[in-house]
C-alpha cells in the first residue's frame, strides 16, 4: 500500500554532516499497526514530515499503490488516497466548536456534503459525542487528543499516521488513546505511529527502531 523507497534527507543548515534520515525503506500494508521508536533527534519527525509532504526528501520516493505521492497535489492525496495525519502541535481552532473543527479539513479540501452523521460516528468512536458543540478550551488535554484523532478519521482513511500521539499525556489518557488506536486498527485502518512511549509496543503488530537516521525492524 504505502511504500517508502530509499528515503534520505540532508538538512541544509545541519550542525552535522550526517543525514537526518538515511536510506530508509518501509512498506505499510493493509491492517498494519507499525510503531517507530527511537530517541529524540533520531529522525522520526523528519521521516514523518516527508511522508506528509511537508518536507522534500533529498533522495527516494514515497508511493501509494505504486503512485508516487510527490507528483500529486495535497488535495488529491487527501481525496483519493485516503491517508490521514495527526502531527505534533496540530491544534484545534479555538473559535470553532468541536463539530466545526471536524468539518474544517474537509472544507479546506473542498469536499462538500452533509457530514453530521460522520461527525456523530467519529465522536462516538472516541467517546466524546457529548462534546460536539463544545469549544476546545472547555476540554482537557486527553480529550483534545481524542478529538484530533476523530478529526483525522472523518474521511475514513485507509492509513492513519500519527507523530507522538501520546506525548504529554498521563497514563490513564495515554492508555485511552492507545486503546482507541487498537479499535481503529481492528476496524481496518492501517496505522503508522512514531513514539518514544514504550507502552505503545504491546499494541503494535510490528516495531521499528530509528537510530541516527537508520530504520531497522526490531
Least Cα distance to 83 among 168, 211, 189, 4 occurs for 189
Smallest gap from Cβ 212 to ligand ADP, in A, equals 8
Q: What is the DSSP string of 165-195?
A: TTTT--HHHHHHHHHHHHHHHHTT-EEEEE-
Q: How far apart are CA 80 and CA 13, in angstroms?
A: 35
Least distance (Å) between residue 15 CB and ligand ADP: 5
Closest approach, Cβ 85 to ligand ADP, in A, equals 14
DSSP type of residue 213: T
CB closer to ligand ADP out of 24 and 131: 24
How many residues line the site for ligand ADP (CB under 6 A)?
A: 13
Given the complex with ligand ADP, which of 21 and 178 has the nearer CB atom?
A: 21
**Which 38-97 positions form the footprint of ligand ADP (CB under 6 A)?**
38, 40-46
Q: Is 56 helix (H, G, I), strand (E, B) or coil?
A: coil
Residue 20: CB minimum distance to ligand ADP, A: 3
Q: Please report the beta strands in the chain, taking only residues with DSSP state E, as ranges in sequence order.
A: 2-9, 21-28, 33-37, 59-64, 67-68, 83-86, 159-163, 190-194, 206-211, 214-217
Site string for ligand ADP, 9-48 (x = CB under 6 A): --x-xxx----x-----------------x-xxxxxxx--
Pairwise CA distance, residues 1 & 147, whole Å: 27
- Closer to ligand ADP by Cβ: residue 115 or 208: 208
CB-nearer residue toward ligand ADP: 182 or 209: 209
How far is 143 from 173, CA to CA, in rounded Å?
8
Query: Minimum distance from CB of 87 to ligand ADP (Å)?
Result: 10
Inter-residue contact 139 to 173 (CB < 8 Å): no
| DSSP labels, 72-91 | S-HHHIIIII-EEEE-TT-P
Return the number of the residue (15 or 217) whose C-beta is nearest ligand ADP: 15
Minimum distance, C-beta of residue 123 to ligand ADP, in the bound complex (Å) = 28
Q: Does the footprint of ligand ADP cover residue 166 (CB under 6 A)?
A: no
Cβ-contact 7, 23 below 8 angstroms:
yes
Shorter beta-carbon distance to ligand ADP: residue 60 or 127: 60
Residues that bind ligand ADP (CB under 6 A): 11, 13-15, 20, 38, 40-46
Amino acid at each position: 500500500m504505502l511504500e517508502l523507497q530509499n528515503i534520505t534527507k540532508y538538512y541544509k543548515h545541519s550542525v552535522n554532516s550526517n543525514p537526518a534520515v538515511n536510506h530508509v525503506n518501509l512498506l505499510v500494508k493493509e491492517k498494519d499497526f507499525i510503531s517507530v521508536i527511537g530517541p529524540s533527534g533520531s529522525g522520526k519527525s523528519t521521516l514523518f514530515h516527508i511522508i506528509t509532504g511537508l518536507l522534500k526528501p533529498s533522495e527516494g520516493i514515497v508511493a501509494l499503490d505504486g503512485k508516487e505521492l510527490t507528483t500529486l497535489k495535497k488535495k488529491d492525496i487527501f481525496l483519493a488516497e485516503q491517508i490521514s495525519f495527526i502531527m505534533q502541535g496540530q491544534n484545534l481552532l479555538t473559535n470553532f466548536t468541536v463539530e466545526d473543527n471536524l468539518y474544517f479539513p474537509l472544507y479546506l479540501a473542498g469536499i462538500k456534503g452533509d457530514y453530521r452523521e460522520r461527525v456523530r460516528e467519529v465522536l462516538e468512536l472516541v467517546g466524546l459525542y457529548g462534546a460536539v458543540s463544545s469549544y476546545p478550551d472547555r476540554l482537557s488535554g486527553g480529550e483534545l487528543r481524542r478529538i484530533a484523532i476523530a478529526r483525522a478519521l472523518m474521511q475514513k482513511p485507509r492509513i492513519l499516521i500519527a507523530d507522538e500521539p501520546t506525548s504529554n499525556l498521563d497514563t490513564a489518557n495515554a492508555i485511552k488513546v492507545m486503546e482507541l488506536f487498537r479499535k481503529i486498527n481492528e476496524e481496518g485502518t492501517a496505522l503508522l505511529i512514531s513514539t518514544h512511549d514504550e507502552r505503545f509496543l504491546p499494541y503494535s503488530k510490528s516495531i521499528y527502531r530509528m537510530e541516527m537516521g537508520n530504520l531497522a525492524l526490531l
